Amino acid sequence: MSDAKAEPLADPVRQLVAEAWTFRRQVELDAELRFTRLAGQLAQLGAPEALVSLAGRAAEDERRHAGMCELLARAYGRVDMPPAPLAAEEVAPAGMALRERVLYEVVAACCITETESTAVLTTLLVPEGAPRVRAVLRDILRDEVAHSRLGWAWLSHEHGAGTVSFLSRHVPSMLEGTASPRLFAPGAPEEESPALLKHGVLPHTRKRETFVRALRDVVFPGLERFGVDTAPARAWVERRSAAGA
């Protein structure tokens, strides 16, 4: 890909870019399976047809995204791809009823993960970015916004039908599942390279700042709007930030 070769990249930085796009491919493949399952579960719960349809389209979107991510990963030097996942693990705690499990997973996958992804992709769309990378980022961003809306729409639906307050104590676990284990730790020098940004990867510190800002500015206010107490989640952010510092 000419964009990947237009500007010389140090080998450690190029490797990080290739690894990032490879990781995104795996995330998108996992999300395809997750949305396929959620579409069936939402239909089982009698969700509005528009939301069931949106979940089905989201699965198709994620499969397309995975293909684009693979092409970029290979362009930056990745040769072998990890095997595609065969199933997406359910993230809700054992023992929950179906309606609670689905709400938990939709909030974790859409209201949190897809909203965070939207913030990251928006930050990555810098004018100086490689043109093909920018085209992929724009395509994925458009879809991630719709996937995020699916989560907020179902949370609104369930809030109107009954209580969603049980989610409050679970949001920290959702955040643990969304955040990279090293997100709040110091990054290596190559992980802070400004060159990463042009190729669709946030430098480590900026990635952490984007994650926390999206929580505080979008995710937490959105959850509170529908009656989910975010005090435990805000405390989680403070603890992780303090530990990282």
Give the per-residue pLDDT at 245: 64
Helix (H) or strand (E) holding 233: helix 231-244
Q: How far is CA 196 from the centre of its chain?
A: 19
Give the per-residue pLDDT at 3: 52
Which CATH code of 3.40.50.300, 1.20.1260.10, 1.10.3720.10, 3.40.50.2000 fits the domain covering 2-244? 1.20.1260.10
CA distance 16 to 72: 12
Q: How far is CA 175 from the centre of its chain?
A: 11
Residue among 53, 184, 210 at smallest CA distance from 122: 210
**Whole-model pTM?**
0.93
Q: Could you tell me if 59 and 90 are in contact, meaning their C-beta atoms sit under 8 angstroms apart?
A: no
Q: Could you tell me if 54 and 150 are in contact, meaning their C-beta atoms sit under 8 angstroms apart?
A: yes
Give the per-residue pLDDT at 1: 45
CA distance 24 to 1: 18
Give the per-residue pLDDT at 5: 46
CA distance 161 to 100: 12
Q: Could you tell me if 168 and 232 are in contact, meaning their C-beta atoms sit under 8 angstroms apart?
A: yes
Per-residue pLDDT of 52-98, as tens digits, reads 999 999 999 999 999 999 999 999 999 999 999 999 999 999 999 99
Angle at which helices 11-44 and 98-106 cross, to 10°: 150
Where are the domains positioned within the chain?
Answer: 2-244
Instruction: Render each residue's pLDDT in the chain as its tens digit; 245 residues.
Output: 445 444 678 899 999 999 999 999 999 999 999 999 999 999 999 999 999 999 999 999 999 999 999 999 999 999 999 999 999 999 999 999 999 999 999 999 999 999 999 999 999 999 999 999 999 999 999 999 999 999 999 999 999 988 899 999 999 999 999 998 899 999 999 999 999 999 999 999 999 999 999 999 999 999 999 999 999 999 999 999 998 76
CA distance 220 to 206: 20
CA distance 189 to 48: 49
CA distance 8 to 14: 9
Q: Could you tell me if 2 and 133 are in contact, meaning their C-beta atoms sit under 8 angstroms apart?
A: no
Q: For residue 73, what are its two tokens?
A: 């990963």
Q: For residue 223, what are its two tokens?
A: 């959850």
Q: Could you tell me if 198 and 126 are in contact, meaning their C-beta atoms sit under 8 angstroms apart?
A: yes
Task: Please report the beta strands in 113-237, taking only residues with DSSP state E, as ranges in sequence order.
Answer: none
Q: Residue 206 carries which side chain, given as an amino acid letter?
A: R
Q: Could you tell me if 17 and 201 are in contact, meaning their C-beta atoms sit under 8 angstroms apart?
A: yes
